[in-house]
């Protein structure tokens, strides 16, 4: 049976299986980093941009004629009992001006915990114009039982921000990463 | 003669039958809606118009295609002796029905792009509300309004769900605390989630947006009519996905201000109550309410357990009070037992601990006060 | 060489015969169809009226998940693989599939995969309860322990699908009878060739998605968890990159079946053969670049919404070409209405309805209202049931005389058709209404305004379910006691090599390649 062109079979079959394995590798090793890349190119609002390098301000030219409101929102993820809130609800900033905001966190439990804050910015079209030069979200925060901390973020709203955007909301979700602290470091690199 | 009577009968009966059918249909359609509602926003109206436009275009194409098909089915039957022709290609026809659809699609895409631009509008809203999805309730947080932050739980009694009581009009679409927004005001919702993905949907406001842990999404609405509008969670989020409705009350601006003032007064009262001391009975009474809305889903109405462990006879509920409180405040990491320290105020925490220690056959006789919880939280 | 089948159990365990393996695939998929149908009936029974009557919400979620998984991966996909096994070698004039031993292996993986999946129902914490789309983190951090077995089962069925597809590609490309060029192949072979390429491209992506889940659950990575620098939305992108081509994997073979049967009963050649091939290829290509239309409310940027909306709308063009071509095939033919033809005409009408609702769903702003409502449920059942399953019923009636050498009962076949047709529409048409009125999908209980149509829908589901028992009876009766028919060409309008061999088809056909005109 199947005596027609057995050699051709082997060739095609090998190619197809290589293709299948290639697609598996594509899903596992190409799609996640490519997604990161795409998100940062297109400035999509994704937690994967958390590991993004701090922004280096090139030239400082402040647009005094315009005020943009930056709102702060804090959210505790499930199983995160810390107290977590911004010092102020919102600030009005001039585009181009470096502004410092402080967030307060306190470990209310009786054990040492490590937290990771994940930033998120809306509206979507403001993402590429909101630069963090310094942020507590670039690192994890470990707190002993009952201890508190003031965590700063320094940001610049780009002067190129579209005129239609008047308010930018910067929110942080606080996750408990005590259990996965070590492995999270590894995963960040992929 | 015979056929004439038949025709006459058909002529007479036809309209009667048609009218009866139409009546029955209207009755059914009246009782149970069968179409999308334009809702109470301009955007919702645009979406509704686009929906109707697409239905009519599809219907027109469908009528055309099926007319040809049924014509062949009737006229080109073998049983009628129709002989098959043998052509099987026609470049002109094939090109035509490849190219013409592009124009029809363009006709639909144009208003769709227009509506999409409106959805992504970033004009300044007057009120910002943070909406957080929890398993299985919603939390609303009015930005910049001190103390106006609350959970919204399903309020339909369990008896109605299990068929032991008659179901009311807003069965499964009613909550203990709805959110209020003023009419003709642009409201922005900042939507996120605490645990898994939820989706916040109110059809009449033309808003549906996924609530994703770690990501904040935004959506906006501007209701043009006072009223109560209801929706549900639209993304499968676990056991009680079907039991976390959304209720939005659109008030006149004056009523909204009154409501806001009352919420602020309530928050102030809670702060005052924190400083008071309550009797065991008062604490149990308050604690039962807290328990039924926050704990009963997992631990059972009688503390018998379920998804969560039984509370009746639990080593925490009949053990040292501080460990019991710590468990509820901090939760148990990587289990379904969440930390309630951030979701319940000190008053409710004290009450629910007291209730659990004095209900379901647990008979500890001790009680906890809000001030104790406050001390516990700030001790370390 | 020309020996008959082995005796007893070993015939089925060790067979490398494409007809035996095809038969096993078909029976297996029918068993899974009944199992998935039983899950569906549990769902519809609970939704018969408002309130919780029969099952707890927890179990309801397990039912919707298992129904979806079993129907998609256990019933529809294997049934078309079975059909391909039986028919492709006979259609291209080959003695067997290109890789007979791998063929046996790819079938026998399936029972293990589904045994594993079904066993999760009896595990601590219950079966997977996160929907067949298993979005993270509900399917990772918040999943029951059985999720690991679910991942394992997906891996096995993926491997089976990939091997089956490799086999089909090799058979179609290498084993065609002399003279049969690609553009002379029966349309069923064309649609399956393209489907097989789709499967080889996207089943590994699904495997990748579940592997990432596995690593997140057990090895501490954070592909999908925001806490560790992952993104739950990434899961949806990966899933739908598989998931959208998957819906064409399900429907393309059905297109092939319909393209075989309509010309046979219209007694007129398929209209626009080459445009059919190009349309199929165009659909397959487009399926790779439209996935995020399943995610319009996830919060993707404006430009993304516009791109995915317009790309999705374009799919209507090649799909429309196919429908127009089928109607043109019937036009000025000499049509008769045996059971297979009835199912194909119903396919044509109902699939078009599903296509229309698909076009409506592609409009991003309107999708904000449709998304995750029963309107979507109605849409994809019009495509999956009236599309894939109706064409499968048509295929069974059409080729059953060739497989068994016996004629099925036409009366029973037509009864099956009409009950199915009515039951199907009763079940799914009202779901458009409740969806538009605001009923979300995947809920075990609902408000009273949805009650009337849900009751109609549940009654329809029972009717549709019952008609499948008649189908089973008709098939079994045909095999055991059907009227024998030995003529090679059962249907006077049928064309193709499979109709040149005697009925029932001998155990070995085309040991010597036939001459193709």
Q: Are C312 and C360 in contact (CB under 8 A)?
A: no
At residue B274, the pLDDT reads 75
Which residues in chain C have Cβ-Cβ distances shorter than 8 Å to B105?
Answer: 313-314, 316-317
Active-site annotation holds for C155: no
Q: Is the CB of C170 less than 8 angstroms away from the CB of A16?
A: yes
Give the closest-approach CA distance of A190 to chain C in angstroms.
Answer: 9
- How many CB atoms neighbour CB A37 within 10 A? 11
Which residues in chain C have Cβ-Cβ distances shorter than 8 Å to A76?
Answer: none
At residue C301, the pLDDT reads 86
Active-site annotation holds for C294: yes
| Geometric angle at alpha carbon C227, from C223 and C228, rounded to 5° | 50
- Quick one: closest CA in B to C439, which residue? B232
- Segment A115-126 shows an average pLDDT of 86
- Quick one: closest CA in A to C222, which residue? A187
Query: Which chains lie within 8 Å of chain B at 3 or more CB pairs, if any?
Result: A, C
Q: Are C396 and C423 in contact (CB under 8 A)?
A: no
- Rounded to a whole number, what is the distance in angstroms from the first to the last CA of chain C? 27
Region of C472 on the Ramachandran plot (φ > 0 left; ψ -120 to 50 alpha; else beta) = alpha
Give the closest-approach CA distance of B214 to chain A in angstroms.
Answer: 5
Using CB atoms, which residue from A78, A108, A124 is nearest to B195? A78
Give the closest-approach CA distance of A19 to chain C in angstroms.
Answer: 7
Run of H or E including C483:
strand C483-484
Q: Is the CB of B32 less than 8 angstroms away from the CB of C135?
A: no
Q: Are C182 and C251 in contact (CB under 8 A)?
A: no
At residue B298, the pLDDT reads 83
At residue C229, the pLDDT reads 78
Region of B365 on the Ramachandran plot (φ > 0 left; ψ -120 to 50 alpha; else beta) = left
At residue B32, the pLDDT reads 57
Q: Are C187 and C260 in contact (CB under 8 A)?
A: yes
Most confident of A91-105, B85-99, C197-211: C197-211
pLDDT reading at C517 higher than 80: no
Q: Which of A9-13, B96-100, C270-274 has the lowest mean pLDDT?
A: A9-13
Q: In 3-state terms, what secondary structure has residue A52?
A: coil
For chain C, the average pLDDT equals 94
Q: What is the pLDDT of residues C184-197, one digit of tens each?
A: 999 999 999 999 99
Six-digit token string for C137: 């983190």
How many helices (DSSP H) and strands (DSSP E) are in chain C? Answer: 17, 2
Q: Are B238 and C375 in contact (CB under 8 A)?
A: no
B133 contact C CB<8A: no
| A-to-C residue pairs, Cβ atoms closer than 8 angstroms | 159
Q: Are B124 and A127 in contact (CB under 8 A)?
A: no
- Quick one: closest CA in A to C162, which residue? A20
Query: Which chains lie within 8 Å of chain A at 3 or more CB pairs, if any?
Result: B, C
pLDDT reading at C28 higher than 90: yes
Give the closest-approach CA distance of A70 to chain B in angstroms.
Answer: 12
Choose from A78, A168, A172, A177 for mutation: most chain B CBs within 10 A: A78
At residue C89, the pLDDT reads 96
Using CB atoms, which residue from A5, A47, A177 is nearest to C231? A47
Pseudo-torsion of CA C197, C200, C201, C207, nearest 10°? Answer: 160
Is beta strand B217-221 parallel, antiparallel or unpaired with respect to B227-233? Answer: unpaired
- Rounded to a whole number, what is the distance in angstroms from the first to the last CA of chain B? 102
Q: Is the CB of C363 less than 8 angstroms away from the CB of B231?
A: no
Which residues in chain C have Cβ-Cβ distances shorter than 8 Å to A8?
Answer: 173-174
3-state SS track over chain B: CHHHHHHHHHHHHHHHHHHHHHHHHHHHHHHCCCCCCCCCCHHHHHHHHHHHHHHHHHHHHHHHHHHHHHHHHHHCECCCCCCCCCCCCCHHHHHHHHHHHHHHHHHHHHHHHHHHHHHCCCCCCCEEEEEEEECCEEEEEECCCCCCEEEECECCCHHHHCCCCCCCCCCCCCECCCEEEECCCCEEEEEEECCCCEEEEEHHHCEEEEEEECECEEEEECCCCCEEEEEEECCCCCCCHHHCCEEEEEECHHHHHHHHHHHHHHHHHHHHHHCCCCCHHHHHHHHHHHHHHHCHHHHCCCCCCCCCCCCCCCCCCCCCHHHHHHHHHHCCCCCCCCCCCCCCCHHHHHHHHHHHHCCCCCCCCCCCCHHHHHHHHHHC
Q: What CA–CA distance (Å, rounded) separates A17 from C449?
A: 53
Q: Is the CB of A169 less than 8 angstroms away from the CB of B214?
A: no
Query: Which residue is catalytic, options C25, C248, C326, C398?
Result: C248
The mean pLDDT values, 10 residues at a time, for chain B of 380 residues are: 60 66 63 81 94 94 95 92 89 92 94 92 87 93 86 90 91 94 95 94 95 92 95 94 95 95 86 79 87 86 83 84 85 76 83 88 83 72
Q: What CA–CA distance (Å, rounded) separates C476 from A60?
A: 82
What is the residue whose two structure tokens read 């018969």?
A: C48
Q: Is the CB of B192 less than 8 angstroms away from the CB of A171?
A: yes
- Segment C217-228 shows an average pLDDT of 86
- How many CB atoms neighbour CB B96 within 10 A? 12
- Segment A101-113 shows an average pLDDT of 87
| Geometric angle at alpha carbon C215, from C210 and C217, rounded to 5° | 90
For residue C430, CA distances in Å to B29, B52, B333 come to: 11, 18, 44
Which residues in chain B have Cβ-Cβ distances shorter than 8 Å to C334?
Answer: 76-78, 82-84
Active-site annotation holds for C132: yes
Q: Are C301 and A125 in contact (CB under 8 A)?
A: yes
Using CB atoms, which residue from A12, A44, A175 is nearest to C174? A12
Q: What is the pLDDT of residues A18-75, one digit of tens each?
A: 999 999 998 888 888 888 777 777 767 676 665 456 676 666 677 888 889 999 999 9
Q: Are C2 and C508 in contact (CB under 8 A)?
A: yes
Q: Which of B70-84, C1-15, C151-165 has the lowest mean pLDDT?
A: C1-15
Q: Are C248 and C384 in contact (CB under 8 A)?
A: no
What is the residue whose two structure tokens read 């909101």?
A: A130
Give the closest-approach CA distance of B123 to chain A in angstroms.
Answer: 6
CA proximity to B119, closest of B26, B30, B22, B46: B46
At residue C1, the pLDDT reads 42
* C92-122 burial code (b ≥16 CB/10 A, e <16): bbbbbbbbbebbbebbbbbeebbebbbebee
Q: Is the CB of C166 less than 8 angstroms away from the CB of A176?
A: no
Q: Is the CB of A165 less than 8 angstroms away from the CB of B125?
A: no
- How many CB atoms neighbour CB A39 within 10 A? 21
- Quick one: closest CA in A to C242, which residue? A27
At residue A190, the pLDDT reads 42
For a pLDDT cut of 70, what percent of chain C falls above it?
A: 99
Active-site annotation holds for C322: yes
Q: Is the CB of B112 less than 8 angstroms away from the CB of C436?
A: no
Q: What CA–CA distance (Å, rounded) separates B214 from C298?
A: 13
Active-site annotation holds for C244: yes
At residue A58, the pLDDT reads 65
Active-site annotation holds for C379: no
Six-digit token string for C82: 């079975």
At residue B301, the pLDDT reads 85
* C12-23 burial code (b ≥16 CB/10 A, e <16): beebbbbbbbbb
Six-digit token string for A6: 């057995």
Q: What CA–CA distance (Å, rounded) separates C243 from C346?
A: 26
For a pLDDT cut of 90, what percent of chain C falls above it?
A: 90
Query: Which residue is catalytic, options C18, C19, C44, C67?
Result: C67
CA proximity to C295, closest of C353, C228, C372: C372
Q: In 3-state terms, what secondary structure has residue C439?
A: coil
A45 contact C CB<8A: yes
Instruction: Dump strand ranges (E) for chain A.
Output: 68-76, 83-86, 90-93, 98-106, 113-122, 130-135, 141-143, 148-157, 167-176
pLDDT reading at C231 higher than 70: yes
Q: How confident is the model at residue A187 (pLDDT cuts 50, 70, 90)?
A: very low
**Residue B249 pairs with which residues in a beta bridge?**
B180, B228
* A125-163 burial code (b ≥16 CB/10 A, e <16): bbbbbbbbeebbbeebbebeeeeeeebebbbbbbeebee
Active-site annotation holds for C246: yes
Six-digit token string for C275: 């445009």
What is the residue whose two structure tokens read 């487009």?
A: C286
C233 contact A CB<8A: yes
- Quick one: closest CA in A to B376, which residue? A108
Which residues in chain B have Cβ-Cβ distances shorter than 8 Å to A66?
Answer: none
Using CB atoms, which residue from A78, A82, A122 is nearest to B338? A78
Q: How confident is the model at residue A1 (pLDDT cuts 50, 70, 90)?
A: very low
Rounded to 10 deg, the angle between the C374-383 and C410-436 helix axes is 150
Is beta strand A167-176 parallel, antiparallel or unpaired with respect to A68-76? Answer: parallel
Give the closest-approach CA distance of B128 to chain A in angstroms.
Answer: 10
Active-site annotation holds for C18: no
pLDDT reading at A120 higher than 80: yes
Which residues in chain A have Cβ-Cβ distances shorter than 8 Å to C237?
Answer: 31, 35
C173 contact A CB<8A: yes
- Contact residues for C271 (Cβ-Cβ < 8 A; gap 6+): B88, B89, B90, C325, C326, C328, C329, C331
Residues making up chain B, counted from first to last? 380
Q: Is the CB of C304 less than 8 angstroms away from the CB of A35?
A: no
B11 contact C CB<8A: no
Which residues in chain C have Cβ-Cβ distances shorter than 8 Å to B77?
Answer: 334-336
Run of H or E including C406:
strand C406-407
- Quick one: closest CA in A to B330, which residue? A81
Q: How confident is the model at residue A189 (pLDDT cuts 50, 70, 90)?
A: very low
For residue C214, CA distances in Å to A87, B211, C227 come to: 40, 24, 17
DSSP per-residue letters across C318-379: HHHHHHHHHHHHHTTS-B---HHHHHHHHHHHHHHHHHHHHHHHHSHHHHHHHTTBHHHHHH
Instruction: Provide the whole-model pTM.
Output: 0.89
At residue C112, the pLDDT reads 95
Q: In 3-state terms, what secondary structure has residue C387?
A: helix
At residue C90, the pLDDT reads 95
- Quick one: closest CA in C to A16, which residue? C166
CA proximity to C400, closest of C509, C315, C307, C474: C474
Active-site annotation holds for C293: yes
Q: How confident is the model at residue C78 (pLDDT cuts 50, 70, 90)?
A: very high
Which residues in chain A have Cβ-Cβ distances shorter than 8 Å to B121?
Answer: 164
- Segment C387-395 shows an average pLDDT of 96
Q: Are B341 and B270 in contact (CB under 8 A)?
A: no
Give the closest-approach CA distance of A139 to chain C in angstroms.
Answer: 11
Q: Are C423 and C466 in contact (CB under 8 A)?
A: yes
Residues making up chain A, counted from first to last? 190
Q: What is the pLDDT of residues C91-120, one digit of tens each?
A: 999 999 999 999 999 999 999 999 999 999
Six-digit token string for A155: 């940001």
- Contact residues for B9 (Cβ-Cβ < 8 A; gap 6+): none
pLDDT reading at C307 higher than 80: yes
Residues making up chain C, counted from first to last? 517
């Amino acid at each position: 049976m199947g005596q027609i062109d057995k050699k051709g079979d082997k060739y095609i079959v090998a190619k197809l299986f290589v293709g299948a394995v290639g697609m598996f590798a594509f899903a596992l090793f190409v799609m996640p980093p490519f997604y990161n890349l795409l998100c940062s190119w297109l400035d999509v609002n994704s937690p994967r941009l958390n590991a993004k390098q701090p922004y280096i301000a090139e030239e400082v030219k402040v647009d005094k004629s315009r005020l943009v409101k930056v709102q702060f929102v804090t959210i505790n993820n499930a199983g995160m009992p810390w107290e977590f809130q911004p010092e102020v609800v919102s600030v009005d900033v001039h585009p181009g001006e470096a502004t410092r905001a402080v967030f307060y966190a306190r470990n209310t439990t009786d054990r040492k915990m490590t937290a990771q804050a994940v930033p998120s910015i809306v509206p979507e079209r403001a993402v590429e114009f909101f630069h963090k030069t310094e942020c507590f979200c670039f690192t994890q925060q470990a707190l002993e039982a009952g201890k508190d901390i003031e965590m700063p973020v320094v940001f610049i709203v780009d002067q190129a921000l579209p005129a239609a955007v008047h308010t930018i909301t910067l929110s942080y979700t606080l996750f408990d990463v005590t259990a996965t602290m070590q492995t999270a470091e590894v995963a960040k690199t992929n | 003669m015979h056929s004439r009577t038949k025709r006459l009968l058909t002529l007479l009966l036809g309209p009667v039958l048609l009218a009866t059918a139409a009546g029955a249909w209207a009755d059914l359609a009246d009782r149970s809606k069968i179409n999308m509602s334009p809702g109470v926003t301009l955007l919702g109206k645009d979406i509704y118009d686009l929906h109707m436009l697409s239905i009519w275009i599809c219907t027109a194409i469908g009528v055309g295609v099926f007319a040809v098909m049924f014509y062949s089915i009737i006229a080109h039957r073998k049983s009628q002796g129709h002989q098959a022709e043998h052509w099987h290609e026609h470049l002109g026809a094939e090109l035509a029905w490849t190219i013409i659809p592009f124009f029809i699609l363009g006709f639909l895409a144009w208003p769709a792009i227009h509506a999409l631009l409106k959805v992504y509008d970033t004009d300044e809203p007057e009120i910002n509300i943070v909406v957080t999805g929890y398993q299985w309730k919603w939390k609303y947080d009015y930005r910049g309004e001190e103390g106006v932050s609350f959970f919204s739980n399903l309020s339909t009694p369990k008896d109605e769900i299990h068929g032991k009581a008659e179901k009311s009009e807003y069965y499964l679409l009613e909550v203990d605390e709805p959110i209020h927004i003023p009419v003709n005001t642009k409201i922005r919702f900042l939507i996120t989630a605490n645990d898994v993905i939820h989706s916040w949907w109110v059809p009449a406001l033309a808003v549906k947006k996924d609530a994703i842990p770690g990501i904040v999404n935004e959506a906006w609405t501007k209701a043009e009519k006072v009223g109560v509008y209801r929706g549900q969670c639209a993304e499968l989020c676990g056991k009680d996905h079907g039991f976390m409705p959304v209720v939005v009350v659109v008030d006149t601006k004056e009523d909204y201000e009154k409501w806001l003032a009352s919420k602020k007064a309530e928050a102030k009262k809670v702060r005052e109550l924190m400083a008071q001391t309550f009797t065991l009975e008062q604490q149990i009474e308050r604690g039962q309410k807290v328990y039924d809305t926050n704990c009963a889903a997992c631990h059972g109405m009688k503390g018998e357990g379920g998804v969560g462990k039984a509370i009746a006879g639990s080593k925490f509920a009949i053990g040292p009070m501080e460990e019991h409180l710590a468990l509820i405040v901090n939760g148990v990491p990587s289990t379904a037992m969440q930390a309630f320290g951030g979701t319940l105020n000190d008053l409710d925490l004290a009450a629910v601990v007291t209730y659990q220690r004095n209900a379901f056959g647990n008979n500890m006789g001790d009680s906890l006060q809000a001030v104790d919880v406050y001390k516990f939280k700030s001790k370390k | 060489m020309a020996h008959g089948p082995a005796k007893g159990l070993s015939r089925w365990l060790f067979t490398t015969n494409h007809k035996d393996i095809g038969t096993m695939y078909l029976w297996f998929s029918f068993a899974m169809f009944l199992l998935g149908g039983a899950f569906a009936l549990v769902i519809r029974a609970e939704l018969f009226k408002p309130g919780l009557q029969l099952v707890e919400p927890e179990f309801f979620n397990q039912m919707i998940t298992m129904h979806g998984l079993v129907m998609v991966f256990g019933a529809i996909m294997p049934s078309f693989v079975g059909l391909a096994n039986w028919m492709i070698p006979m259609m291209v004039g080959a003695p067997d599939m290109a890789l007979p031993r791998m063929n046996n292996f790819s079938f026998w993986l399936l029972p293990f995969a589904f045994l594993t999946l079904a066993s999760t129902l009896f595990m601590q914490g219950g079966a997977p309860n996160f929907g067949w789309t298993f979005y993270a983190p509900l399917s990772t951090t918040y999943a029951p322990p059985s999720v690991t077995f679910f991942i394992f089962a997906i891996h096995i069925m993926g491997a089976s699908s990939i091997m089956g597809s490799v086999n089909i590609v090799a058979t179609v490309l290498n084993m065609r009878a002399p003279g049969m060029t690609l553009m002379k192949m029966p349309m069923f072979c064309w649609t399956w060739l393209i489907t097989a390429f789709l499967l080889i491209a996207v089943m590994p992506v699904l495997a990748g998605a579940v592997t990432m889940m596995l690593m997140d659950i057990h090895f501490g990575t954070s592909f999908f968890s925001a806490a560790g620098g992952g993104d739950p939305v990434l899961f949806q992108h990966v899933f739908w990159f598989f998931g959208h081509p998957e819906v064409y994997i399900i429907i393309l073979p059905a297109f092939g079946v319909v393209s075989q049967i309509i010309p046979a009963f219209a007694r007129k050649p398929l209209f626009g053969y080459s445009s059919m091939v190009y349309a199929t290829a165009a659909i397959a290509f487009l399926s790779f670049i439209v996935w995020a239309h399943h995610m319009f409310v996830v919060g993707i940027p404006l430009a993304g919404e516009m791109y995915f909306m317009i790309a999705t709308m374009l799919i209507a063009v090649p799909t429309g070409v196919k429908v127009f071509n089928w109607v043109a095939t019937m036009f000025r033919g000499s049509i008769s209405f045996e059971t297979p033809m009835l199912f194909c005409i119903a396919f044509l009408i109902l699939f078009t309805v599903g296509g229309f609702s698909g076009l409506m769903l592609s409009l991003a702003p309107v999708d904000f209202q449709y998304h995750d409502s029963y309107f979507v449920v109605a849409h994809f059942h019009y495509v999956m049931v009236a599309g894939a399953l109706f064409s499968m019923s048509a295929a069974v009636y059409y080729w059953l005389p060739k497989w068994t050498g016996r004629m099925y009962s036409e009366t029973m076949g037509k009864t099956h058709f009409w009950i199915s047709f009515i039951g199907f529409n009763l079940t799914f048409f009202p779901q458009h209404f409740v969806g538009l009125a605001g009923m979300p999908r995947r809920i075990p209980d609902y408000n009273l305004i949805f009650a009337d149509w849900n009751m109609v829908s549940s009654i329809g589901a029972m009717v549709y379910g019952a008609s499948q028992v008649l189908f089973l009876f008709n098939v079994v009766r045909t095999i055991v006691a059907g009227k024998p028919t030995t003529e090679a060409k059962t249907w006077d309008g049928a064309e193709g090599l499979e109709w040149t061999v005697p009925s029932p088809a001998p155990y070995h056909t085309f040991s010597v390649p036939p001459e193709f005109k």
